[in-house]
Amino acid sequence: MKTILAQIIVCLTVKMLACSCVAADIEFANKAFRLVIGEDASVKSLKLTANGEECVEARERIPLFTVTQERPFNNEIKLMHMHKRTTYPANRIRRDGDRLVVGFDLAPYEAEVAVSVKPTYMEFKLVRFIVKPEDYGDLKMDTPPVESFRVMQIPARNRVNFGDWINAVWDARCAVGVIGTSCETEIDNEARHGFRLLTADLLRGRRLRGGSAALIAAPGPDAFLDAVECVETDCSLPQGVKSRRSPLINASMFTMSDMTPRNVDDYITLAKKAGVRMMLLYYTCIVKEIASWGYNGDWDILPDYPGGLKDVAAMLAKIKAAGIHPGIHFLHTHVGFKSRYVTPVADHRLNLTRRFTLAKPLNDGDTELFVEETPLDSTMYDGCRILRFGGELISYRGYTSDPPYRFTGIERGAHATRKTAHPAGEIGGILDVSEYWIPFSCYVDQRTSLQDEIADKIAEVYSAGFEFAYMDGSEGVNAPFNYNVPHAQYRVWKKLRPEPVFCEAAAKAHFDWHMLGGANAFDIFAPEVFKEKIVEFPQAEAPLMRRNFTRLNFGWWKLYKPQQEGKNRTIGTQPDMWEFGTSRAAAWDCPMTVQMNSAFRKGHPRLPDLIEVIRRWEDVRARNWLTQAQKEALKSRTQEHHLYVNEKGGYELHEIEMLPESKGAPHLRGFVFERGGKRVVSYWHTCGEGVFGVPELSGGKPCRLDAAGMKYLETDLSIEDVKAAFAKAKTE
């Protein structure tokens, strides 16, 4: 009897303890998922409602929150522990309605976090810190001395895909992401054993109290994007999901730098022939420029538009009337050395990469500039050795790394700036010169109002009727880049009206996922390496962007004219090159961009063939003609394809093989494919017109190629015999 009673007592005790543990857990649930937080503040479970999928790895007992200080400040703690940047994990938590009160290891204060439960996501927001005044004694300081607060960290189990840009792990059954609800939230991740730690930090001086992040868990990618769209709407963010679902997102485009009312009709005609629905106008089509980016920042309208923006609007209206969507390509972070922001007085809002204090006055005739701080590791690249003190730019040739510290070989009034007096104690520094080409420009200090001032000028031109944008030079910001890259873009984007259909840019970080539905475009590849570089860069990036629910742009493709002599000798752009590139882009539902400046388009012998390549593949994109199996085949890194138009005007996709070049006919180019039991040979003249002898293929008759371009012929010869015949071709 005693034994039975003892067993009953033990069972009841175990049950009571179990109930006690469960009761200590904190749960938040919505229609999509249930989050369970342990009494030690660790993430215990994140389970989907739709399919019961567990989304987190709980065995390491990762705390949901942490707090970071530059060093300990409380007297006893300071005496006991190391003086270094230290992160204190949360170790206890309690719930008060929709608030969580969080305590930390060693740090003698608590954080109050508001949890807003929405149908498809949860938002975690730092409300305040709870501090006992006596914990800091007589220290004259704002308390607590928090540098950053981790408002969320989720140990999401590894899945097939990880999108580093959107910050989500996902597969067909489950998608988990931690995303920022504003540009100020620092989003990042850490690869761990079996899981990815998705993190969101709030930083002092950016947005500590009041900052937040959103937790999303959904049964697959479509539901995940639906939830992201809800976050974007609720938090008034750019509509990144909407832009990615636009029918224009995979439409290729022409870009040009010389369009004006004088030649807009020619460009429209060319675009219509190519079936191109998008035109990207470089800002030089609208505003004055010199020496690449010399005037950048001024944004003065060209004399081609005597009526100002009204004339710009009229030109854009003509483009839109043709069924083409106009966009503008600009460099928002660059300031040209010939602009009014540099000469005659350099603006105080230009960025400095290093700051120095004058140790002595700078006088006329001085060849050295004395500073208090060591110049060790200062910029030494030619053209970038520029100091700014006040409104004057001063070049230097070298520096000393031992006291007295000084810059040597200085020259006053660089870049036509005005010489002025500089007293001891004046603070200046090294100008942040653009790293591209010959130094034509420098960068904006993102901590100042200059970026907003330039954004106003860009937005005024955009309002003339542009519909999308390319934000070039996005990497041209001061650190931290993961904040200032999207922050600089956002300062421009939020002034653009109407909201762009989508944007592309030259650099990206977490928050600009909402702005850059199109991600980046790749730069120019020369004809001789074009196919190789398509595989090496855009084709390699495409699956990475797919993991972020995003497409990229497979290029800015330059139209190279064939040149047979001189050091710049080149075969020029040929139809098979663009077909290779655009077919690979189509495989990933991506577009490409072609540079179509008038100087090239008027003189290229294969332009009709190139335009036809674009037309066919743009039609395929618009009609969603490709099957998934065809897309998978087109992802090959080596096998080339040709989109053939048959007798009925329909498309056929064929694997092709390039034919060997003949020494006797170096300007003959072609490929072969199988069709209907025969071999079909496509061939053309690479740089003009000509007559070629290929007796085995042409029945003894010469093959005449004129400006009409690419020809086809059928043969019963085997592919090997076709190759042999092509290799023996001669120019007649």
Buried b (16+ CB within 10 A) or exposed e, 203-234: beebbbeebbbbbbbbbbbebbbebbbbbbee
Alpha-carbon distance of 253 to 239, in angstroms, equals 22
144 prior amide bond cis, ω within 30:
yes
Residue 470's CB is within 10 A of a number of other CB atoms, namely 28
For the entire predicted model, the pTM comes to 0.92
58 & 146 share domain: yes
Say if CB 261 and CB 305 are below 8 A apart: yes
Closest to 429 measured CA to CA, from 386, 486, 460: 386
223 & 92 share domain: yes
- Longest distance between any two alpha carbons in the chain, whole Å: 115
Closest to 508 measured CA to CA, from 540, 481, 542: 481
For residue 247, tell me if it sits in a domain: no
> Exposed, middle or buried: residue 574 (CB in 10 Å: 0-12, 13-18, 19+)?
buried
93 & 163 share domain: yes
φ, ψ (nearest 5 deg) of residue 429: 170, -170
For residue 546, tell me if it sits in a domain: no
CATH code at position 174: 2.70.98
Per residue in 284-309, pLDDT (tens digit) is 999 999 988 999 999 999 999 999 99
For residue 538, tell me if it sits in a domain: no
206 & 328 share domain: no
62 & 84 share domain: yes
118 & 226 share domain: yes
Bridge partners, residue 393, by sequence: 388
Residue with token string 């910001």: 477
Say if CB 519 and CB 508 are below 8 A apart: yes
Looking at the structure of the chain, the number of domains it has is 4
Bridge partners, residue 278, by sequence: 253, 325
Q: Which of 185, 208, 237 is the last residue of a domain?
A: 237
Per residue in 191-220, pLDDT (tens digit) is 999 999 999 999 999 999 999 999 999 999
Residue with token string 């104690």: 425
Alpha-carbon distance of 654 to 673, in angstroms, equals 7
Buried b (16+ CB within 10 A) or exposed e, 650-687: eeebbebeebebbeebebbbbbbbeeeeebbbbbbbbb
For residue 524, tell me if it sits in a domain: no
Q: What is the pLDDT of residue 133?
A: 86
The DSSP code sequence of 494-531 is TT-SSPPS-EEES---GGGGGT-TT--B-----GGGHH
Closest to 348 measured CA to CA, from 487, 490, 447, 479: 447
For residue 577, tell me if it sits in a domain: yes
108 & 230 share domain: yes
Closest to 270 measured CA to CA, from 606, 601, 686: 601
The H or E element spanning position 86 is strand 86-96
> Exposed, middle or buried: residue 522 (CB in 10 Å: 0-12, 13-18, 19+)?
buried
Q: What is the pLDDT of residue 6?
A: 45
Q: What is the pLDDT of residue 187?
A: 98
> Which domain does 199 fall in, by range?
23-237
Q: What is the pLDDT of residue 56?
A: 98
Q: What is the pLDDT of residue 708?
A: 67
Alpha-carbon distance of 478 to 471, in angstroms, equals 16
CATH code at position 481: 3.20.20.70
For residue 293, tell me if it sits in a domain: yes
Adjacency order of strands within the sheet including 325-331: 503-505, 468-472, 325-331, 278-282, 253-256, 593-595, 556-558
Residue 291 in tokens: 């020496």
φ, ψ (nearest 5 deg) of residue 611: -65, -40
Closest to 45 measured CA to CA, from 147, 204, 143, 154: 154
Alpha-carbon distance of 653 to 140, in angstroms, equals 75
Residue 192's CB is within 10 A of a number of other CB atoms, namely 14
Say if CB 492 and CB 474 are below 8 A apart: no
492 & 623 share domain: no
Q: Which of 489, 514, 539 is the last residue of a domain?
A: 514
Say if CB 170 and CB 228 are below 8 A apart: no
Bridge partners, residue 216, by sequence: 121, 177
153 & 46 share domain: yes
Say if CB 719 and CB 679 are below 8 A apart: yes
Alpha-carbon distance of 391 to 718, in angstroms, equals 74
Q: What is the pLDDT of residue 628?
A: 97
102 & 151 share domain: yes
260 & 224 share domain: no
Q: What is the pLDDT of residue 20?
A: 39
For residue 37, tell me if it sits in a domain: yes
388 in helix, strand or coil? Answer: strand
For residue 705, tell me if it sits in a domain: yes
Q: What is the pLDDT of residue 707?
A: 64
578 & 700 share domain: yes
Alpha-carbon distance of 716 to 548, in angstroms, equals 48
Per residue in 584-633, pLDDT (tens digit) is 999 999 999 999 988 778 889 999 999 999 999 999 999 999 999 999 99
Task: Kindly give the parts of the chain with pLDDT less than 70.
Answer: 1-23, 707-708
Question: What's the whole-number average pLDDT of the chain?
Answer: 93
Alpha-carbon distance of 691 to 674, in angstroms, equals 25
Q: Which of 465, 488, 514 is the last residue of a domain?
A: 514
